[in-house]
């Protein structure tokens, strides 16, 4: 073989190798980010499936549920949406581009439809998410703008359109450091907890006792109060509880350092639970368990440290 032919053969081999490598690279899986938008652009989110629909909107810098009723959205669920759903990645190679396969993968009206809007109500993205019938760890997604169907991790828990998946389950969105004064009214016998420069104090029937900041019983009471949560909501049934809430088992008035107040009424619901009304709201009431009620319904004398007594204020000031 002449030197010239040898060189040509070598160049041909190089070209063939280059073409094979290029084709291999084209077929290799690459991970791509599904959404090109970021959290700060989104002002409204609509999520719906064949049975449920929910609308969330940023109002005064707070995420609220607009439909099916107006209430605060659960902050942790909003965070999961942005950190998990908005950050989704997938293979650059779709598993299907067939219109006929959209129903099979539930990336049409049979799945979950997620639409995001900006502050001007301009649509930023609309996608359909379908679940796998065989593998609970994966799901499928398709943009409304094309027929490409991609496989993703299962995010059904993040985009569940049921109301209770998104509504705030904390009844009081405060910390104990926000509270300056609490009035408890038990069977028309009120007592007051308040703070001064030395810590918490108790007032009962014009008698007082210092409780300080290291009082274990008091701290348990405060923690039970600020961490109140519910998993059951009573919506649009206020009329059924009017009489019970008119004479509640326990009333709590909280005064905050910001100057705002919170008023809680707690009445018996059934043998296993209580119903709570916050700030005279009537659209939504909250269910408390007997255990939660007992944590709040404390005998004031039980808060006084052993060996101390309730005395007239001037005796210890």
Residue in 205, 225, 203, 224 with CA at minimum distance from that of residue 304: 203
pLDDT in tens, the chain (317 residues): 555 555 555 555 555 545 555 554 445 568 888 999 999 999 999 999 999 999 999 999 999 999 998 888 999 999 999 999 999 999 989 999 999 999 999 999 999 999 999 999 999 999 999 998 889 899 999 999 999 999 999 999 999 999 999 999 999 989 999 999 999 998 878 999 999 888 899 998 878 888 888 889 999 999 999 999 998 999 999 999 999 999 999 999 999 999 999 999 999 999 999 999 999 999 899 999 999 999 999 999 888 875 555 566 554 44
What is the phi-psi region of residue 111: left when phi exceeds 0, alpha when psi lies from -120 to 50, beta otherwise?
Answer: beta
pTM over 0.85: no
DSSP, collapsed to helix, strand or coil, labels residue 29 as coil
Annotate 243-309 with DSSP letters as a single string: HHHHS-SEEEEEEETTS-EEEEEEEEEETTEEEEEETT--SEEEEEEHHHHHHH---GGGGSPTT--
DSSP state of 118: -
Is the distance from CB of 202 to CB of 209 less than 8 angstroms? yes
> What pLDDT does 190 receive?
92
> What pLDDT does 290 receive?
96
The Cα 17–Cα 59 span in angstroms is 59
Is the distance from CB of 32 to CB of 90 less than 8 angstroms? yes
Is the distance from CB of 148 to CB of 97 less than 8 angstroms? yes
Cα dihedral across residues 295, 296, 301, 307: positive or negative: positive
């Amino acid at each position: 073989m002449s030197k010239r032919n040898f060189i040509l053969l070598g160049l041909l081999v190089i070209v063939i190798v280059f073409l094979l490598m290029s084709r291999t690279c084209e077929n290799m899986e690459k991970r791509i980010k599904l959404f090109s938008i970021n959290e700060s652009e989104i002002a409204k989110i609509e999520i719906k499936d064949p049975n449920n629909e929910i609308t969330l909107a940023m109002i005064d810098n707070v995420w609220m549920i607009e439909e099916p009723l107006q209430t605060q959205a659960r902050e942790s669920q909003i965070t999961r949406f942005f950190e998990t759903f908005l950050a989704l990645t997938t293979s650059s190679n779709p598993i299907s581009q067939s219109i006929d396969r959209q129903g099979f993968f539930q990336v049409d009206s049979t799945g979950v439809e997620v639409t995001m809007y900006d502050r001007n109500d301009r649509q930023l993205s609309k996608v359909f998410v379908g679940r796998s019938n065989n593998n609970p760890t994966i799901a499928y997604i398709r943009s409304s703008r094309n027929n490409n169907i991609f496989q993703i991790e299962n995010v059904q828990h993040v985009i569940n359109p049921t109301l209770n998946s998104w509504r705030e389950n904390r009844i009081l969105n405060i910390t104990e450091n926000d509270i300056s004064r609490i009035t408890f009214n038990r069977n028309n016998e009120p007592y007051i907890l308040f703070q001064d420069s030395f810590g918490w104090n108790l007032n009962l029937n014009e008698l007082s006792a210092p409780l300080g900041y290291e009082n274990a019983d008091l701290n348990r009471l405060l923690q039970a109060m600020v961490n109140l949560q519910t998993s059951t909501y009573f919506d649009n049934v206020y009329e059924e509880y009017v009489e019970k809430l008119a004479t509640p088992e326990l009333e709590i008035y909280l005064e905050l350092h910001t100057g705002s107040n919170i008023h809680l009424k707690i009445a018996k619901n059934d043998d296993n639970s209580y119903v709570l009304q916050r700030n005279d709201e009537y659209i939504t009431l909250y269910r408390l368990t007997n255990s939660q009620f007992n944590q709040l319904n404390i005998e004031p004398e039980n808060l006084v440290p052993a060996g101390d007594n309730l005395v007239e204020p001037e005796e210890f000031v």
